[in-house]
Structures are given as C-alpha cells and as structure tokens.
Amino acid sequence: MKYVDEFRSGELAKALVHELDGLVEPGRALKVMEVCGGHTHAIYKHGLEDLVPPEIDFVHGPGCPVCVIPMGRVDDAISLAERPEVIFATFGDMMRVPGGRGSLLEAKARGADVRMVYSPLDALELARRNPEREVIFFAIGFETTAPATAVTLLRARADGVRNFSAFCNHVTIGPPLKAILDSPGLQLDAFIAPGHVSTVVGTRPYDFIVRDYGKPVVVTAFEPIDILHATVMLVRQLREGRCEVENQYTRVVRRDGNPRALAALDETMELRDTFEWRGLGWIEASALRLRPEFAAWDAEARFELPGTRIEDPKACQCGEVLIGAIKPWECKVFGTACTPERPIGTCMVSSEGACAAYYNYGRLDTRRDRVPA
C-alpha cells in the first residue's frame, strides 16, 4: 500500500534493530511505556517484541479510549439506549464493553436501537434521516476524536438539528500520564507518546514529563518502523544523558498541534472538575463536558441518567495493567474468567486494550496460563 509500505519495511527494521543493539547497555533493563493503545496494537500485530533487544520492555499505558470508560458510564449509556425514542449511535468497540448490567450489544439484543457508526457525523446523518427519533452519539476518546464530536456539534447547531445530542465522555491525555507518574513504585524510563492525539494537541502537553519527572518522551507514529525509530531515539537520549520531548511523527505532528481543531474543542467543550477513569479512579480536570451553550445537544442535560457509580470488579486488575505495574497475563483472571468474548475489564475489550492485544496477538511465552476457549 502506497505511503505505508515503507514504514513496514523489513530492511529498515533490521537496520533500526541493529542500531538498538549497539545502544542498549547489556543487562540493564529499560522500561518504555507506549501510552497509546494504537502502539500496543502495532507492537503485537507486527511482533516487535521479538525484534528488540531483551533489555527493552514495552509497558502498555492508559491510552485506549475504550478501556478507560468506567462501568457506571456504560450503564448510563445503556439506560439512554433503552429509551424507546432513542437511536443510540456508538463506535463498534464500545458495543461489547461490560457495564454493571451487561453491554450495549446485549441491550441491542433485548430491543434497544443501537447502531454502529464510524464517525459522529454519521450519527448526525442518522438524526436527519429519522426526525421523529432522538439520536444520541456515545462520544468517547481523547483529544483525537473529540474535535470530530466538536465539529458535529457545531454543524448540528448551524443546521438546527434538534433531535441530535452527544453523551460526552471525552478525556484528556495529560492528567492520566501525571497520575501514572505519581503512582508509588513506578519504574518507567521513557515514554513513547501518542501520535494521533498529538496531531491535535501538539507536543507541549508532554513538556511536564521531562521538566518535572525527568523522563524522555518521543511523540511517535503508528507503523512498526516508527515505533522502532522512536525506541532508538529514546534509548539514545538515555545514553547521551538528554531528557527532551522529541517528535518522531514530524510528517503530521506540529509543536502547537492543530489550532482549528483546538478552537472547535474550546468552542463546544470545557474541562470537568473531575472524572472517573477505569482502573485509575477519579482524576481532576481530566475530562471534557459540553459547554452550557450546547445544553440543547448535551445528552447529560437533556435526559435523566442513573449516574450510578460502580466499582471496578475486585478480581480485575485493569488498574495495575493501565499503569504498567503488571503485564496483562499476570492478572489473576486473564484468559480464564476474563476473555475478549466475556470481558471483565475493559482492557480486554478493545483491540487497542493491552489485555486484548496480548490475548489476540500475544506471543507464546505469555500464553502459558491461558485456558483454551
């Protein structure tokens, strides 16, 4: 495929791995957190852990937007979806995420009108085509997907579409990283920072990681060559005693991000005081809600929500997986009680979740505890 093949070249990979071999100190383990689920997915899909020197340990971070949605919010979504007048539009990944009382897929089987969409604009189109129904879009994701929701809201207002609203669960990338860096006993050496979200927010939101915590950061694209290249850049920083935010994804990411996307976000959304994260708990100023001016398109303002908070299941160690304290397969229920077809924790649901990536793509040595289906 044009424009992608060169980022999957076996020759380039070999050269980068050779460079890495020369850079790592034999026997000194380096824990590199890839923040974004897209990176986790790519690392497994392309078998990168087989290629890098054994000293390099990829730790999978909290950047899977599906995985961080707490069960209570899923129940809120289901209660919205079960209203008879509602068409509930969601990304496919959210369909199987378990709440306290099942998933959206199960709600759909019970009769709720749940539709899978690929973009919030598709949901707006659904609203136009079904003027007698209320279309609610399940808005999830970091600043990557939030601008699309923002643009959709702006268009709904401009066109006077009144039967459309968003159930906003957008989150921001900085606060959970800080939460992870503040967690006791954390042993991370460097960060592979997310690429897509940085196209919007730029590279400045990561400055505090170098400044306050002394950990190198490389903003990274999603092809296997990109990830290997970023790993080389990080190890080189460590070897040379530098600590900087570097940008590997220069073909797209700018230092100041995308001003138009940020402006659309700012026009439609504002920070919440606090928001609950799956596995990480309540984090201040870590999520977005619609501004009061958009109350007419805000599902939280327009519909009654149960708002019940549900604790993460005790057996589930998603929280420890999300901060990189344990590997997915070290979780007590991984592959036994918790599998992609019957997930307990959200990390097992999305293809970007660390647990699902391990389960679906995992190497054999991580499968030793696995019970076949």
Among residues 15, 51, 310, 337, which is the contact residue for another protein, using CB under 8 A? 51
**Is residue 372 a contact point for another protein (CB under 8 A)?**
yes
Among residues 45, 129, 239, 255, which is the contact residue for another protein, using CB under 8 A? 45
Per DSSP, the residues of 77-142 read HHHHHTSTTEEEEE-GGGGG--BTTB-HHHHHHTT--EEE-SSHHHHHHHHHH-TTSEEEEEEEES
Q: How far is the CB of 196 from another protein (least distance, A)?
A: 13
Which H helix or E strand runs over 288? strand 288-290
Among residues 82, 106, 267, 320, which is the contact residue for another protein, using CB under 8 A? 106
Rounded CA separation 318/314 (Å): 10
Closest CA to 236 of 56, 48, 359: 56
Among residues 28, 50, 160, 292, which is the contact residue for another protein, using CB under 8 A? 50
Among residues 6, 14, 250, 282, which is the contact residue for another protein, using CB under 8 A? 14
Q: How far is CA 122 from the centre of its chain?
A: 21
Site for another protein in 204-233 (CB under 8 A): 224
Among residues 23, 48, 156, 290, which is the contact residue for another protein, using CB under 8 A? 48
Q: How far is the CB of 259 from another protein (least distance, A)?
A: 26
Among residues 187, 204, 367, 369, which is the contact residue for another protein, using CB under 8 A? 367
Q: How far is CA 359 from the centre of its chain?
A: 18
Among 67-75, 106-114, 282-290, 305-313, the segment contacting another protein (CB under 8 A): 106-114
Amino acid at 198: S
CB distance 121 to 166 below 8 Å: no
Among 10-18, 146-154, 166-174, 268-276, the segment contacting another protein (CB under 8 A): 10-18
Residue count at the site for another protein (CB under 8 A)? 41
Exposure class string for 245-279: b at 16+ Cβ within 10 A, else e: bbbbbeeebeeebbeebbebbeebbeebeebbbbb
Site for another protein in 269-328 (CB under 8 A): none
* Per-residue binding letters, 336-365, with another protein (x by CB under 8 A): ---xxxx--------x----x--xxxxxx-
CB distance 76 to 275 below 8 Å: no
- Token pair for residue 363? 């190497």
> Distance of CA 286 to CAs 175, 187, 282, Å?
5, 23, 9
Cβ proximity to another protein: between 175 and 194 the closer is 194
Among residues 15, 116, 296, 310, which is the contact residue for another protein, using CB under 8 A? 116
Cβ proximity to another protein: between 14 and 255 the closer is 14
- Token pair for residue 352? 């970007």
How many beta carbons lie within 10 A of that of residue 327, not counting itself?
A: 19
Cβ proximity to another protein: between 122 and 267 the closer is 122
Among 67-75, 91-99, 265-273, 323-331, the segment contacting another protein (CB under 8 A): 91-99
Rounded CA separation 39/191 (Å): 12
Rounded CA separation 134/33 (Å): 41
Cβ proximity to another protein: between 24 and 280 the closer is 24
Positions in the binding site for another protein (CB under 8 A): 1, 4, 8, 10, 13-14, 44-51, 92, 95-96, 105-106, 108-110, 116, 118, 122, 224, 339-342, 351, 356, 359-364, 367, 372-373
